[in-house]
Amino acid sequence: MEAVFREGVAQLCARAAAQPGEEPAAEWAAWLEELTVYTAANRGLAAALLTGRRHLLH
């Protein structure tokens, strides 16, 4: 699960690094929307991964 989450974050970072293109404002707005959707969709997964790590450390 962590690998899937990290891959999604890596894809978001790669898209951010590839900008700006010909329409920077529109691309930035689209990227922010993609980030918001990804964050909302994976909020529970991120929390579960963090909780799992804390239990491993104790």
Q: How far is CA 26 from the centre of its chain?
A: 19
Supply the pLDDT for residue 41: 86
What is the rounded CA–CA span in Å between residue 5 and residue 50?
A: 12
Q: What pLDDT is recorded for position 33?
A: 95
Query: What string of pLDDT tens digits covers the 58 residues of the chain?
Result: 778 888 888 999 998 888 778 898 999 999 999 999 998 888 787 777 777 755 555 4
* pLDDT of amino acid 55: 54
Q: pTM of the prediction?
A: 0.65
